[in-house]
């Protein structure tokens, strides 16, 4: 059994990134980048508008992850499950409920301090509660502290460095090893030490043999632009960025293969952005003027989307497949 890392100022800083990300998403949604009627329930309006390249970066992130969510759902039936690691105040569960009933079980994991706040927000908002229903249309919730268990939705507070704790949370959430599973890890692994991240990836690869893993995080941080990004992370108290984030997306895919996945592929976000249709890019570009296009290109070049699979769910991993 792993010895738990005690709660630290660094952990507090990592947990705090959730609020900042939620505010950024809300700002982009209010400008029309994408639709999310729930994000406002989890955040306050930001006093200062973020720079256009930040909004476009978040749009690219949301859009990129959506590509593979929809590919996954098209290939699986209602017995599939979604596991959202480091979920923060993400609203994906509610957005999916508005467009599909295809997810049999949706599980979210994060620090207990984060999930406790999310539990409180969910319980006091009818708009969120009404989506957590059983087959009879009734709300069926078992809540306790930092955990919330409903029919088809589970929010669990756990330290992702604690492997036995993660396994207990998955059991409590009714996770099925035999079910097709989509695992999401958006800006999560970067906050784990290299050994802890590798242990978590190996655990997930072993636990879910029919799996698609989608990872969004920093890459190519071995240049001047990357140095600035690293300094910003360290200044916020988020510790040191691992060596794995210095490499190109292809190296990240190789590490996922080493962790036990059968196939993996990665792209920087500039490649993902250019894979979108001209009409979609034109719509987004019309929302806000962008004075420094090179800055957005640099930003996109330092984030990556990496997708891995176990089993034959995604033997043909590709953008817009």
Per the CB < 8 A criterion, the answer to whether 53 and 76 are in contact is no
Q: Are 112 and 4 in contact (CB under 8 A)?
A: no
Q: Which residues of the chain have pLDDT under 50?
A: 1-5
Report CA-CA distances (Å) from 275 to 268, 279, 298, 320.
Answer: 11, 11, 17, 8
Residues 6+ apart with CB under 8 A from 53: 290, 292, 295, 296, 299
- Using one digit for the tens of pLDDT, what is the confidence trace for 247-280? 788 888 899 999 999 999 999 999 999 999 999 9
pLDDT digits (tens, 9 = 90+) for 74-89: 888 778 999 999 999 9
What is the per-residue pLDDT across 24-51, written as a single tens digit (0 to 9) for each?
Answer: 999 999 999 999 999 999 998 776 788 8
Domain at 9-310: CATH code: 3.40.50.150
Going from N- to C-terminal start, the domains of the chain cover 9-310
Q: How many CB atoms lie within 10 A of CB 178?
A: 9
pLDDT score at 5: 47
**DSSP strand pairing (103-110 vs 153-157):** parallel
């Amino acid at each position: 059994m792993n010895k738990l890392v005690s709660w630290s100022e660094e952990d507090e800083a990592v947990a705090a990134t959730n609020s900042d990300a939620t505010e950024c998403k809300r700002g982009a949604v209010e400008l029309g980048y994408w639709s999310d009627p729930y994000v406002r329930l989890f955040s306050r309006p930001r006093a200062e508008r973020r720079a256009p390249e930040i909004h476009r970066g978040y749009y690219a992130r949301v859009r990129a992850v959506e590509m593979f969510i929809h590919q996954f759902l098209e290939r699986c039936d209602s017995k599939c499950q979604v596991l959202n690691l480091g979920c923060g105040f993400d609203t994906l569960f509610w957005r999916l409920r508005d467009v599909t009933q295809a997810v049999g079980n949706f599980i979210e994991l994060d620090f207990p301090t984060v999930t406790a706040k999310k539990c409180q927000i969910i319980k006091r908002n009818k708009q969120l509660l009404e989506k957590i229903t059983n087959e009879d249309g009734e709300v069926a919730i078992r809540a306790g502290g930092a955990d919330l268990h409903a029919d088809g939705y589970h929010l669990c507070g756990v330290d992702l460095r604690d492997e036995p704790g993660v396994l207990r949370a998955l059991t409590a959430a009714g996770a099925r090893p035999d079910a097709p599973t989509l695992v999401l890890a958006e800006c999560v692994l970067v906050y784990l030490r290299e050994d802890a991240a590798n242990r978590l990836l190996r655990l997930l690869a072993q636990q879910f043999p029919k799996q698609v893993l989608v990872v969004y995080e920093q890459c190519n941080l071995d240049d001047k632009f990357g140095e600035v990004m690293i300094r910003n992370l360290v200044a916020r108290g988020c510790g040191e960025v691992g060596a794995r984030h210095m490499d190109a997306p292809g190296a990240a895919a190789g590490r996922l293969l080493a962790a036990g996945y059968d196939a993996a592929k990665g792209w920087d976000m500039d490649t993902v952005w250019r894979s979108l249709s001209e009409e979609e890019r034109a719509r987004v570009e019309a929302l806000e003027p962008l004075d420094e296009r090179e800055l957005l290109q640099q930003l996109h070049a330092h984030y990556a989307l990496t997708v891995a699979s176990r089993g034959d769910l995604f033997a043909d991993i590709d953008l817009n497949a």
